[in-house]
Copies of this chain bind each other. A is one copy, B any other.
Amino acid sequence: MSTQQSKEEFYQLHAHLCKALAHPTRLLIIDELRDGPRSVSELVERLGLRQSNLSQHLGILRDQRLVIARRDGQTVYYSLRDPRVTQAFDLLRQVLRSVLREGERLAIAN
């Protein structure tokens, strides 16, 4: 743990990272960025959000270094910083699907 990091601090940071993923809108954003960078206005349009709200969510993802913002003129393009984030994303989605399948099975059994 290079930069003098206590165990508690590390778990705290990890939790912050998870918290940044813990909102449906931010998950939608990440999914939207899978195929490459998107500008804020593109995201506004495709997700149908208020600009301010989207910008706040992007800020949260930025703070946790989950996305990178590249500026080109007046438009800012966001992209994913690390493919492992989407890998984790997909793993959890698989878990979710398996949980849903199981819930369904139990619903039928009862």
Contact = CB atoms under 8 A, between A and B. Distances in A.
Given A11-B24, A11-B27, A15-B22, A91 B87 contact: yes
A100 B24 contact: no
Interface of A: 2-3, 5, 8, 10-19, 21-24, 26-28, 64-66, 82, 84-85, 87-89, 91-96, 98-104, 107
Contacts of A5: 100
Given A14-B24, A14-B27, 7 more contacts: A3-B100, A3-B107, A8-B24, A14-B92, A14-B93, A64-B99, A85-B95
Contacts of A104: 2-3
Copies in the complex: 2
Contact of A2 (B3, B22, B93, B101): B101
A65 B14 contact: no
